[in-house]
C-alpha cells in the first residue's frame, strides 16, 4: 500500500477494519475496485465495503483445511421430503440424520428463501427462510451435524421483491438497481441461456415505462453491478450467509453477472473481478468458506473461473461430466471420455471440480459442444426423447435455436428394457462420478433412484419439473428400507459406493487421473496419492470383457476390487456395465 493510500484511509475513515485487516488484502480490494469502477468511484466503494467487513470482523476466524476423499455433497431442495404437520426443513433433518450421517459431509440446500418463481431461484428476500419451509433454527440444527452449501443467487432478484419495488418507486439507493435499456438497442450479440425475451417491460410509480434486463425470466430482474449500491448490498448478503453457517457459497449464474452493451455479456472481466473480490473478503473474514461457481458453458470457459488457481473459485461445476458419462454408456465408447479426462489441467493443487451427474436443472449440453460432434449429441437427444425426456433450447445471436439441456432424471436417461441392465448402467454412472478427480455431489433424485415426474411438467408447465418431485416421507422411507425393491437397491448400492470411496486416499479431490488406453469399450485410468494407487476400470459394453492385469502394471499378478472385495489373479473379468476399483 502506498503512503498516499494510507493517508487517504486515515483521513476518510473511522473504521477499525483498516488497522485490523491485513494490509495486503485491503490493497488488493482497493485495486479490484479501481479496476471495476475507476479511481474516482473506487474510494466510495472501498469505504462502504470495508465498513461492512469491520462490523463483522470479530472473534476467531476459521482455518482452511483441504478437502479430502471423505468429503461428499448431498444436493436437495428443502422440501424434497414432505410429511403432514411437519416443517419440510425438519423432515430433511430427520432424513439426513437417519441415512446420511458419516456418509455425506455437506448438504446443499437449494434456495430456501422466500421466492416467487423458478423453485427458489427468484428470491424475494435474501435474509429470510421461507415460512412454509421452516426457520433459521432448522438450518442451524442441520448445520450442527453437516457442513452446508448455500445458494448465493446474485445475478437476479424477484420482480416481487421489496428491492425492485423501491427501484420502481425511484427510492434513493435503489435507482440503479436494475439495468434499463432503451428500445431499439442492438442486443444481438448477447449470449442467451433461454429463448425468452431478454428485456421485460415495467411501469414505474411515476408512470414512466422501463425495459429492464431479465436474462432468465420476466420475474427474475438482473441486478446492476455497475451500481456500487448493488455491490455493497450483495457483500452484506454474502457475509450474512457466512455468519449463518454457509461452508460453501454457490455463485448461481455467475457468468452473466456484468453487462456491457455491444459485448456477449458473459464471462466479462468485471465478473471475474467481482469473484476475486468475494474471495478476498472470505480470506479475511472466513478462510474456511469455499466459493463454488456455477457456469453451464463449454469446458474451457468453465475452467476460467479458477482464475490463476488461488484468486477466484475454489471449485467449479464439472458440467462436461454428466453428458460425457451419459454419451459414453449409451454409445459403449470410451474414447471421448478418455480424451477429455486426459486433457484436463488444473491451474493449481488448491482447486478442484464439483463433480455431479444430475442436479435440480437438466443435463447441460453446451459444455460438450467442442467434445461431441452433432451426430453424437443428436443420438443422445433421440435416446432421451424416446424415454420420456424433454429438450430445452436457447436462442442464438442469429435468431436460431439450439439444444441447451436435456430434461430427464439421470436414472431414466440410462433407461433399458431390462431392469437389471438399467440398474447396472445407472450404478456405473454414479461410480464413474465418484472415481474422477474432484468432490462428488449427489442429487437427491439420483440417490433415491427416481423416475421422470411427468405429472410435474403438466402441473407447472416447466420442463425442469421432471426432476424436482416432492416425495412423501413415510412412503419413501418404506421404499428405501425395502432392500429388494427398485429404489431400495439403488439407494443401498449408492451409499455402499460412497462409504467405500471415503476410505481410499487416492480418490483425493485434488489428485489427477492417468488414462490407460486399453480398449475402446473400457474407461480406464489410474488414481494415485503418495503410496495409495487405485485402478478404475469401467466396462461400457453389453458383454463380459477380460483385462489382463499386466496391462495395468507389468508386475501385477493379483489385485482386489474395493467395491466387491473380490480378488483377481492374472486377469479381471468385467461383466457388462461393471466398474471395479482395483488395489
Give how far the C-alpha of residue 434 lies from the chain's centroid of Cα atoms, to the nearest Å.
16
Q: How confident is the model at residue 399 (pLDDT cuts 50, 70, 90)?
A: confident
pLDDT (tens digit per residue) in 80-95: 999 999 999 999 999 9
pLDDT digits (tens, 9 = 90+) for 15-69: 333 335 566 788 899 999 999 999 999 999 999 998 888 887 765 466 677 899 9
Model confidence over 465-491: pLDDT tens digits? 999 999 999 999 999 999 999 999 999
Helix, strand and coil content of the chain, in percent to the nearest 5, comes to 40, 20, 40
Q: What is the number of alpha carbons within 13 Å of residue 82 lying toward its C-beta?
A: 7
pTM: 0.94
Parallel, antiparallel or unpaired: strands 220-222 and 156-158: antiparallel
Active site residues: 252
φ, ψ (nearest 5 deg) of residue 43: -60, -35
Give, in order, the Cα–Cα distances in Å from 327 to each of 71, 300, 303, 336, 383. Answer: 27, 19, 21, 9, 10
Average pLDDT over residues 440-457: 98
Residue 2: which pLDDT band, with cuts at 50, 70 and 90? very low
Q: Name the average pLDDT for the chain.
A: 93
Euclidean distance between CA atoms 69 and 505, whole angstroms: 6
Terminal-residue alpha carbon distance, the chain? 53
pLDDT in tens, 266-295: 999 999 999 999 999 999 889 999 999 999
**Maximum CA pair distance of the chain?**
82
User: What pLDDT score was predicted for residue 365?
Assistant: 95
Residue 22, pLDDT score: 65
Rounded average pLDDT over 248-273: 97
Please, which residues have CB within 8 angstroms of residue 125's CB and are 6 or more apart in sequence?
113, 114, 161, 162
What distances in angstroms separate CA 425 from CA 329, 365, 398, 414, one per listed residue? 7, 20, 39, 6
Percentage of the chain beyond pLDDT 70 is 95
pLDDT at 374 over 70: yes
The runs of H, that is alpha helices, within 153-290 are 162-168, 228-243, 269-285
CA–centroid distance for 193 within its chain: 16
In DSSP notation, 260-313 reads: -TTS--SS-HHHHHHHHHHHHHHHHH-TTPEEEE---S-HHHHHGGGTTSSSS-
Q: What is the mean pLDDT of residues 113-123?
A: 97
DSSP 217: B
Q: Which residues pair with 574 in a beta bridge?
A: 545
pLDDT classification of 11: cutoffs 50, 70, 90: very low
Ranges of H-type helices in 96-226:
136-143, 162-168
222 Cα distance to chain centroid? 20
Q: What is the pLDDT of residue 9?
A: 44
Residue 8 scores a pLDDT above 60: no
Q: Where are any strands of DSSP class E within 69-198?
A: 73-76, 81-82, 106-109, 147-152, 156-158
pLDDT given at position 7 = 40
* Domain covering 513-582 in this structure, CATH number: 2.60.40.1180
Residue 12 pLDDT exceeds 70: no
> Tens digit of pLDDT for each residue in 528-568?
999 899 999 999 999 999 999 999 999 889 999 999 999 99
As to burial, measured by CB atoms within 10 angstroms (0-12 exposed, 13-18 middle, 19+ buried), residue 231 is: buried
d(Cα 581, Cα 538) in Å, to the nearest integer?
9
pLDDT at 58: 63
How confident is the model at residue 61, as a pLDDT? 60
Please give the Cα distance from 283 to 25 (Å, whole number).
8
Q: Find the mean pLDDT for residues 179-185.
A: 94
CA-closest candidate to residue 427, choices 578, 297, 555: 578
pLDDT at 398: 82
Domain ranges of the chain: 513-582
**All 3 cell numbers of residue 351?**
482447486
Give per-residue pLDDT as tens, 199-246: 999 999 999 999 999 999 999 999 999 999 999 999 999 999 999 999
Angle at 44 between CA 1 and CA 53, to 5 degrees: 70
User: What is the Cα–Cα distance from 468 to 407, expressed in whole angstroms?
Assistant: 11
User: Would you place residue 1 in the very low, low, confident or very high pLDDT band (cuts 50, 70, 90)?
Assistant: very low
Q: Cell 483441504 appears where?
A: 66
Amino acid at each position: 500500500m502506498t503512503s498516499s493510500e494510507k493517508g487517504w484511509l486515515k483521513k476518510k475513515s473511522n473504521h477499525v477494519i483498516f488497522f485490523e485487516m491485513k494490509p495486503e488484502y485491503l490493497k488488493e480490494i482497493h485495486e479490484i475496485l479501481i479496476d471495476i469502477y475507476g479511481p474516482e468511484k473506487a474510494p466510495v466503494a472501498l469505504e462502504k465495503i470495508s465498513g461492512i467487513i469491520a462490523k463483522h470482523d470479530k472473534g476467531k476466524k476459521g482455518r482452511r483445511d483441504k478437502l479430502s476423499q471423505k468429503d461428499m455433497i448431498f444436493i436437495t431442495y428443502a422440501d424434497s421430503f414432505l410429511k403432514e404437520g411437519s416443517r419440510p426443513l425438519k423432515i430433511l433433518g430427520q432424513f439426513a440424520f437417519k441415512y446420511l450421517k458419516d456418509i455425506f459431509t455437506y448438504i446443499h440446500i437449494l434456495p430456501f428463501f422466500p421466492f416467487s418463481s423458478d423453485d427458489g431461484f427468484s428470491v424475494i428476500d435474501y435474509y429470510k427462510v421461507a415460512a412454509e419451509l421452516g426457520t433459521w433454527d432448522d438450518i442451524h440444527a442441520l448445520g450442527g451435524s453437516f457442513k452446508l452449501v448455500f445458494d448465493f443467487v446474485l445475478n437476479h432478484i424477484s420482480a416481487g421483491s421489496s428491492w425492485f419495488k423501491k427501484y420502481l418507486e425511484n427510492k434513493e439507493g435503489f435507482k440503479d438497481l436494475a439495468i434499463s435499456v432503451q428500445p431499439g438497442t442492438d442486443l444481438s450479440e448477447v449470449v442467451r441461456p433461454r429463448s425468452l425475451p431478454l428485456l421485460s417491460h415495467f411501469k414505474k410509480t411515476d408512470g414512466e415505462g422501463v425495459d429492464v434486463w431479465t436474462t432468465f425470466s420476466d420475474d427474475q430482474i438482473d441486478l446492476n453491478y455497475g451500481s456500487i449500491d448493488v455491490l455493497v448490498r450483495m457483500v452484506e448478503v454474502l457475509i450474512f450467509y457466512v455468519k449463518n453457517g454457509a461452508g460453501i457459497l454457490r455463485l448461481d449464474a455467475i457468468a452473466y453477472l456484468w453487462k456491457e452493451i455491444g459485448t456477449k455479456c458473459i464471462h466479462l472481466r468485471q465478473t471475474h473481478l467481482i469473484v476475486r473480490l468475494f474471495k478476498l473478503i472470505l480470506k479475511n473474514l472466513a478462510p474456511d468458506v469455499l466459493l463454488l461457481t456455477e457456469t453451464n458453458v463449454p469446458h474451457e470457459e468453465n475452467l476460467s473461473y479458477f482464475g490463476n488457481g488461488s484468486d477466484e473459485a475454489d471449485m467449479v461445476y464439472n458440467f462436461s461430466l454428466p453428458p460425457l458419462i451419459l454419451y459414453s454408456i449409451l454409445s459403449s465408447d470410451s474414447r471421448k471420455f478418455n480424451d477429455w479426462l486426459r486433457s484436463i489441467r488444473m491451474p493449481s493443487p488448491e482447486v478442484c471440480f464439483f463433480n455431479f451427474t444430475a442436479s435440480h436443472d437438466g443435463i447441460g449440453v453446451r459444455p460438450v459442444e467442442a467434445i461431441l460432434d452433432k451426430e453424437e449429441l443428436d443420438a443422445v437427444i433421440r435416446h432421451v426423447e424416446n424415454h420420456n425426456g424433454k429438450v430445452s433450447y436457447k436462442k442464438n445471436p442469429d435468431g436460431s435455436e439450439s439444444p441447451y439441456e436435456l430434461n430427464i432424471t439421470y436414472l431414466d436417461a440410462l433407461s433399458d428394457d431390462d431392469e437389471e441392465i438399467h440398474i447396472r448402467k445407472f450404478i456405473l454412472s454414479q461410480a464413474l462420478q465418484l472415481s474422477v478427480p474432484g468432490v462428488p455431489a449427489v442429487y437427491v433424485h439420483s440417490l433415491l433412484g427416481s423416475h421422470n415426474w411427468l405429472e410435474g411438467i403438466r402441473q407447472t408447465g416447466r420442463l425442469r419439473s421432471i426432476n424436482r418431485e416432492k416425495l412423501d416421507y413415510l412412503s419413501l422411507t418404506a421404499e428405501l428400507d425395502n432392500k429388494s425393491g427398485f429404489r431400495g437397491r439403488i439407494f443401498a448400492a449408492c451409499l455402499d459406493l460412497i462409504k467405500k470411496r471415503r476410505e481410499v486416499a487416492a480418490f483425493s479431490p485434488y489428485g489427477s487421473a492417468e488414462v490407460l488406453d486399453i480398449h475402446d469399450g473400457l474407461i480406464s485410468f489410474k488414481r494415485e496419492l503418495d503410496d495409495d494407487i487405485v485402478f478404475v476400470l469401467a466396462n461400457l459394453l453389453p458383454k463380459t470383457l477380460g483385462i489382463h492385469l499386466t496391462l495395468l502394471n507389468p508386475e501385477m499378478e493379483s489385485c482386489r476390487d474395493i467395491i466387491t472385495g473380490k480378488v483377481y489373479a492374472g486377469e479381471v473379468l468385467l461383466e457388462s456395465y461393471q466398474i471395479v476399483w482395483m488395489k
